[in-house]
Amino acid sequence: MPEFRIAVVNRDRCQPKKCAHECIKYCPKIRTGVEDVIVIKDGKAVISEELCVGCGICVKKCPFKAISIVGLPHELEGKEVHRYGKNGFVLYGLPIPRKGYVVGLLGPNGTGKTTAVKILTGQLKPNLGRIEEEPTWDEICERFSGTELFNYLKDLAEGKIKTSQKPQYIEAIPKVYKGKVRDLLERADELGILDEIVERLELKHALNRDVKDLSGGELQRLAIAGCLMKDADFYFLDEITSYLDIYQRINVAKVIKEWAERKPVLIVEHDLAILDMLADFVHISYGEPGVYGVITNAKGARVGINQYLRGYLAEENIRIRDKPIEFEIFQPREGESEKILVEYPSFTKSFEGFRLEVEGGDIRAEEVLGVVGPNATGKSTFVKILAGVLEDDEKKVKLNLKVSYKPQYIKADVSMPVGMFLRKINPMVDSSYYKTEFLKPLRIEDLMDKNLDELSGGELQRVAIVACLLRDADLYLLDEPSAHLDVEQRTEVARMIRRFALNQSKSVLVVDHDIYLIDMVSDRLMVFQGEPGRRGIAKKPMGMRDGMNLFLSNLGITFRRDEETKRPRVNKLGSRLDREQKAKGEYYYYF
């Protein structure tokens, strides 16, 4: 397989007027029709990706060193680790578990992260890309001779390694296990730490409940507890933050970090704030989802995450994305429109053992209202009341609006192709506008011929988000749209929601626990407080600065912005920055 390499221009250095277009004069002028490889646009050189062959002539001729050669993602022929079938997905490279450290694995869905975990846990024997003749373990180990993986795979083949794994989709747990939480944990407890782990992961209240009655957050913590209670040599945790609020995410990260001091841990995670806090090293996976995936060598956590966000892997000289994932430097954003779409009164909603109290507030036109708060404080209940799924105690809430609602937990109730499902919602889904704005950014076009009940959790989530926005409504309610989505998909969802609100003059309410997504998408913020499972208090919507400061002060944590990418990062508790920000009352927006 040939290497795909292209020339790229550093536009800050490019000065065509001073060099008389040296790069253009000496380019081989490969053409398609009348297009040149290099053209001058907006006073700077621009190089066509489609036409450039990476010959390097322009690099040598540029007097300002503005042009360099980078690689594009491609398959690494001869370095296959595993291939599914003759023309199936192929994986190149593996992450390396390290004793005494937390190793992170970061990348788009469908690029082999779960396959890599299956290989390292012994569930899948790598075939080195050979379909007809299965390789021996000696051949497999020989492939990794001279690397840190050699001893690991050798011990794995000889049965000297015991691993423990937390699965990615925790929703399946009630389907395979029936009974009380306590019974399940007692069966998993090989280290005699049941009481300690139950205390640390706040599962005491759930011990005597049936597994089928647990919430998503409780199932997630149950799965993590079950994984860590096994007497294993290596621990693998696939997506630890789904359905957890930010407080629970940080608490789980602390528990895993302490655990890694005793045993090696490898995590697959899409919440960059938590991955940055938790991981010592990061491997990045890239490629063509469903076709091939490449896993890089380990990088320092901050360096690896920043390279992933920029879309350029410096050590590999590979560009993995057309454009970087960017965060706004100047926060907070305030909604420009003061026009109020709807006002809702103060109200209460009571269940057995729980009461939600909501302050009266408003939702503005053309705004995205973010909703944050601990789990079990009534966020989903509030959204259901706005959607008309539930009624408040006094039946006061009557919005008189068309509402489109995506619930927290989604499932395929019908068996039909995705395309037919979306066309029933909006026949114009095949128009150029909807293809450009909705289908292409979330890669829904690849799913149009699949049946809904055949979709993975992430695929179903993307379809549900698009289905919600396709409906004709005045107010759009999305409960946890980031669940099961990778970093790039979450970014696209945030961009899509913001464009939709502005371009279509619609109002959107988003409930989520991913700080990055809330930061990118929200104009204002609504904060939920209270005692989880007993009492919830919903504050009226407020500006982003005030809202995030209130939310994070309740949790006792502070965020800073990375100097390079401006992404939010969790400050270490008690650090200098943590103390300074708390003293100033600036828990989030601090420069």
In CATH, what number is assigned to the domain containing residue 377?
3.40.50.300
Cα–Cα distance for residue pair 572/579, rounded to 1 Å: 10
Cβ–Cβ < 8 Å for 586, 544: no
Q: How confident is the model at residue 395 (pLDDT cuts 50, 70, 90)?
A: very high
Helices (H), 86-244: 113-120, 137-143, 149-157, 173-176, 181-188, 194-200, 216-228
Domain identity same for 371 and 494: yes
- Is 251 inside any structural domain? no
Domain identity same for 274 and 125: yes
Question: What does the pLDDT read at residue 381?
Answer: 94
Cα–Cα distance for residue pair 421/586, rounded to 1 Å: 46
* 448-469 per-position pLDDT tens digit: 988 998 888 889 999 999 999 9
Domain identity same for 367 and 473: yes
Domain identity same for 286 and 148: yes
The closest alpha carbon to 47, from 20, 10, 18, 4, belongs to 10
The letter for the amino acid at 67 is I
Domain identity same for 176 and 28: no
> What would you report as the CA-atom Rg of the chain, rounded to the nearest whole angstrom?
25
Question: What does the pLDDT read at residue 88?
Answer: 78
Domain identity same for 146 and 283: yes
- Is 39 inside any structural domain? yes
| Distance, C-alpha 80 to centroid of its chain | 27
- Is 289 inside any structural domain? yes
Domain identity same for 143 and 84: yes
- Better-predicted residue by pLDDT, 216 or 84: 84
Question: What does the pLDDT read at residue 532?
Answer: 84
* 40-50 per-position pLDDT tens digit: 887 788 877 67
Cα–Cα distance for residue pair 591/584, rounded to 1 Å: 12
Question: What does the pLDDT read at residue 1?
Answer: 35
Domain boundary residue, one of 71, 100, 117: 71
Question: What does the pLDDT read at residue 2?
Answer: 39
- Is 548 inside any structural domain? no
CB-based burial, 138-160: b 16+ in 10 Å, e otherwise:
eebbebbeeeebeebbbebbeee
Domain identity same for 61 and 84: no
Cα–Cα distance for residue pair 449/445, rounded to 1 Å: 8
Q: How confident is the model at residue 116 (pLDDT cuts 50, 70, 90)?
A: very high
- Is 329 inside any structural domain? no
* Domain count across the chain: 5
Residue 333 pLDDT more than 80? no
Cα–Cα distance for residue pair 151/444, rounded to 1 Å: 42
What are 177's two structure tokens?
């296990």
* 408-420 per-position pLDDT tens digit: 888 887 889 999 9
- Is 455 inside any structural domain? yes
Domain identity same for 307 and 347: no
Segments of 314-440 assigned E as strands: 318-319, 340-344, 347-351, 354-358, 361-364, 368-372, 403-406
User: What integer best gives the mean pLDDT of the chain?
Assistant: 87
pTM (global) more than 0.95: no
* 221-242 per-position pLDDT tens digit: 999 999 999 999 999 999 898 8
Domain encompassing residue 420: 340-542
What letter would DSSP give residue 439?
I
